[in-house]
């Protein structure tokens, strides 16, 4: 039976046994659907391309342990979904860190603009009081 006649699950099992051609066929069969899924979720072509690499690397890493307990596409799109969620969480954490730094920076600027002149004025007033004759 040719590769085009094989189910995705059988192709993945064959790849797990070392048949690189089986992986190439799986990739060609699902590449555009996975990319569209990723691109639709992240709305950025470069990010979708990065995620594509991560998804297919995960497929390669999981080949030796792959068990067809569900459809291959269910497994594949679960990987794609999880990688997308991981990327979104990582970006959200970075944005939160950036926001925290930005708010602290704003407080420092506010201190420099308002607090420092007030402190300077108070110190000057104390100095003037100290120079008054008793």
pLDDT tens-digit map of 19-50 = 999 999 999 999 999 999 999 999 999 999 99
Is the backbone of residue 18 left (phi > 0), alpha (psi -120 to 50) or beta?
left
Is the backbone of residue 43 left (phi > 0), alpha (psi -120 to 50) or beta?
left
Q: Where are the alpha helices (DSSP H) in 17-115?
A: 20-42, 45-62, 72-110
What range defines the domain where residue 23 resides?
A: 3-98
Instruction: Fill in the DSSP letter of residue 128.
Output: H
Looking at per-residue pLDDT, the higher value among 126 and 43 belongs to: 43
Q: Does residue 51 lie in a domain region?
A: yes
pLDDT tens-digit map of 46-92 = 999 999 999 999 999 999 999 999 999 999 999 999 999 999 888 77
How many structural domains comprise the chain?
1
pTM: 0.69
Q: Does residue 11 lie in a domain region?
A: yes
pLDDT at residue 96 in the model: 57
pLDDT at residue 132 in the model: 60
Here the tokens at position 43 are: 């709305």
pLDDT tens-digit map of 96-106 = 555 565 666 66
CATH number at residue 30: 1.10.1740.10
Q: Does residue 108 lie in a domain region?
A: no
What is the rounded CA–CA span in Å between residue 42 and residue 83?
11
Q: Does residue 7 lie in a domain region?
A: yes
Q: Does residue 72 lie in a domain region?
A: yes
Here the tokens at position 114 are: 């308002």
């Amino acid at each position: 039976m040719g590769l085009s006649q094989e189910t995705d699950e059988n192709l993945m099992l064959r790849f797990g046994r070392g048949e690189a051609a089986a992986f190439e066929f799986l990739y060609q069969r699902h590449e555009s659907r996975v990319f569209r899924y990723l691109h639709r979720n992240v709305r950025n072509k470069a990010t979708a391309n990065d995620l594509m690499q991560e998804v297919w690397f995960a497929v390669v890493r999981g080949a030796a342990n792959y068990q067809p307990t569900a459809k291959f596409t269910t497994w594949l799109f679960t990987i794609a979904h999880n990688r997308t969620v991981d990327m979104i969480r990582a970006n959200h954490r970075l944005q939160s860190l950036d926001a925290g730094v930005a708010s602290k920076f704003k407080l420092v600027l506010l201190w420099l603009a308002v607090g420092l002149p007030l402190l300077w004025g108070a110190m000057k007033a104390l100095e003037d009081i100290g120079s008054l004759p008793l």
